[in-house]
């Protein structure tokens, strides 16, 4: 019995998603362990050593304030990196062409890679969350906001990694955006401080940073404190996801960076 078109699409999606998930789980000492070690150092240095000297931030102990930002930073970095490296490898090894000439729709290809990136981001975020419990009590103010924001953020960053991989021409190009764009935006996105400490002009400038909305919305879900309006954060996240999703599908359909 020949599978229906919908069943064929599900099989294709499951195959790509399985490949992407198995890829980072197979080499977990390289994909999951290093972020856990790095974030543990953040907790030790900023939380235990520097935190007591700072005191409180927005009425919370400093380590409690930075925990949501550090968790979100791990999710952002790993979701982005997983898709960027994986899809670029597919381009470099020329096996992405086999998927493009197959009957598999572009949105299935995109969704398969996104599942891999989202999965890695959420898994690393979970590991960092479990580690944070060893350093501080982690209250959950609103579980629905916490889960939805981290999922939307992982989706957004995975799409960013996909676009980076499409335009990348060599392996060095994969490191340029995370180093010179993603990392500065993350560190300036309120991970380690409240933007209320900034002069009014720089507060307005900070609001142009999309990472600010993800970090603060996630912090609200855990602590109940945020520098921005939560509804605004959801609108920004959904708008960026819709925009980047359209860009990803448009670039795939045109074959940008793929037909060389």
Determine the pLDDT at residue 2.
60
From first to last of its 260 residues, the chain has per-residue pLDDT tens of 567 778 888 888 999 999 999 989 998 888 888 888 888 888 888 877 888 888 888 888 888 899 999 999 999 999 999 999 999 988 888 888 788 788 888 999 999 999 999 999 999 999 999 998 888 888 889 999 999 999 999 999 999 999 999 998 887 778 888 888 888 888 888 888 888 888 889 888 888 899 999 999 999 999 988 888 999 999 999 999 999 999 999 998 888 777 65
Residue 259 falls inside a structural domain: no
Residue 30 falls inside a structural domain: yes
Determine the pLDDT at residue 260.
55
* Pair 36, 78: CB distance under 8 Å: no
Determine the pLDDT at residue 137.
83
Number of domains in the chain: 1
Residue 260 falls inside a structural domain: no
Q: Which residues constitute the domain of residue 11?
A: 5-254
Residue 168 falls inside a structural domain: yes
* Pair 5, 100: CB distance under 8 Å: no
Nearest to 16 by CA among 98, 93, 94: 98
Residue 89 falls inside a structural domain: yes
Angle at 204 between CA 202 and CA 209, to 5 degrees: 90
């Amino acid at each position: 019995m020949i599978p229906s078109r919908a069943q064929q699409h599900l099989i294709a999606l499951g195959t790509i998603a399985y490949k992407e998930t198995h890829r980072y789980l197979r080499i977990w000492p390289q994909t999951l362990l290093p972020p856990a070690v790095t974030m543990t150092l953040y907790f030790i240095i900023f939380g235990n050593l520097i935190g007591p000297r700072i005191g409180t931030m927005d009425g919370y102990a400093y380590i409690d304030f930075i925990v949501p930002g550090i968790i979100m930073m791990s999710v952002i970095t790993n979701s982005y990196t997983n898709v960027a490296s994986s899809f670029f490898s597919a381009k470099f090894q020329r096996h992405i062409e086999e998927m493009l000439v197959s009957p598999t729709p572009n949105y299935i290809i995109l969704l398969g890679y996104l599942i891999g990136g989202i999965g890695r981001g959420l898994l690393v975020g979970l590991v960092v969350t479990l580690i944070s419990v060893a350093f501080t009590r982690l209250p959950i103010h609103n579980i629905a906001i916490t889960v939805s924001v981290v999922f939307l953020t992982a989706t957004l960053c995975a799409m960013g990694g996909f676009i980076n991989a499409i335009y990348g021409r060599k392996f060095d190009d994969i490191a340029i955006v995370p180093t010179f764009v993603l990392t500065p935006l993350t560190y300036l996105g309120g991970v380690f401080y409240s933007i209320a400490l900034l002069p009014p002009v720089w507060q307005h400038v900070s609001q142009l940073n999309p990472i600010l909305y993800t970090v603060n919305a996630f912090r609200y879900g855990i602590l109940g404190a945020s520098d921005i309006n939560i509804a605004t954060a959801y609108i920004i996240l959904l708008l960026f996801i819709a925009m980047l999703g359209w860009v990803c599908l448009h670039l795939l359909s045109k074959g940008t960076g793929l037909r060389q």
